[in-house]
A and B are shown apart, each in its own frame.
Chain A
């Protein structure tokens, strides 16, 4: 059975589609097709503020941006100095507290990565990423 090159390529492309669809169905609860962060792992500025003292705010931006300005009471915890800053954060964290992580804007990825590491490496639950990030917070607090 001999196939032309385009037909061979098409057949391979179609074959690869089968397990891909199966895997997409299997992972349907683990990834959102609408946004990089599942809605259940996000929190709006208003909601986070309502949590008051039961929430700890984490600034995942680089040191210099944190030094310039940050959400009052926020703790610096970025990936550049993760090993150094994580123990400092854990010292002020207590069970039952919600964690709100933010970076510069909705499109930045630092908050998601820090939130992911807190869940995986520090085994913490109730970790949320702030919708709109620092820019979103500024809009609501100007």
Chain B
């Protein structure tokens, strides 16, 4: 009981982070497009498309975690987003690019690279834990005799 309460709290924390980040970016998609451009990975037009799309994806996935609707799908998408973002950030650093991630709008503009990395890794660990918990729960539901 206490355990499931703790997992639920973690759901809400992760959901809140992504909804907050998504809303900040929805308010200024132009800035986000420029932040994506700084990574120098994607053509400008693709970056613009992502600037409009990614914040809404984060918000919908965050809501899915809260309401437990399409829960596993949301976890999978968010995990993929964080992994892609981590790889892009490290690649940018290796190429010597001075980037602001834009993950939390202007709030994250002055964050250092280690701060970005630490936050992303913490979110990734939390998402991995939620994925693990979700799989374990699904298995327990599929074979109730094992848990009784």
Contact = CB atoms under 8 A, between A and B. Distances in A.
A27 B32 CA distance: 13
A109 B73 contact: no
A11 interface: yes
Interface in B48-73: 48-49, 52-53, 56-57, 59-61, 64, 70-73
Nearest to A6: B73
B74 A36 contact: no
B52 A23 contact: yes
A27 B44 contact: no
Chain A at the B interface: SS class = helix
B26 interface: yes
Nearest to B37: A36
A19 interface: yes
A24 interface: yes
Nearest to A27: B29
Contact of A11 (B52, B53, B59, B73): B73
A35 interface: yes
A86 to B, nearest CB: 19
A13 interface: yes
B73 A27 contact: no
B116 interface: no
B26 A11 contact: no
A16 B56 contact: yes
Contacts of A125: none
Given A27-B30, A36-B34, A109-B38, A17 B53 contact: yes
A109 B34 contact: yes
A20 B72 CA distance: 22
A15 B34 CA distance: 25
B44 A16 contact: no
Nearest to A35: B44
A121 to B, nearest CB: 13
Contact of A13 (B37, B52, B57): B57
B45 interface: yes
B128 interface: no
Given A12-B77, A21-B52, A109-B37, 6 more contacts: A9-B73, A9-B74, A23-B56, A31-B30, A35-B44, A36-B44
